[in-house]
Amino acid sequence: MIITSDFEMGYLIVVSALLGVILVGALLGALHLNRWHPKLVGAVIGALLGFALIEAVPLIT
């Protein structure tokens, strides 16, 4: 994956944050772990994973 502009990096982080909201937020909501807001926690986890993937993929290939 070749990222040539800042827009692409921002887009990938936003997409991974949205996937985190959907997947992790739904999982935390289903498990009734409502100490923190599940969708907010999902967004943070998704954004961090997206950023980690963006940084790690160029090292692998």
Over 60: is that where the pLDDT of 59 sits? no
Rounded to two decimals, what is the model's pTM?
A: 0.65
d(CA 61, CA 44): 26
- pLDDT number for residue 6: 73
Over 80: is that where the pLDDT of 48 sits? yes
- pLDDT number for residue 4: 72
At residue 58 the predicted structure's pLDDT band, cuts being 50, 70 and 90, is low
d(CA 10, CA 50): 10
pLDDT digits 0-9 by tens, 3-44: 677 777 778 778 877 887 888 878 877 887 777 777 788 888
d(CA 30, CA 52): 26
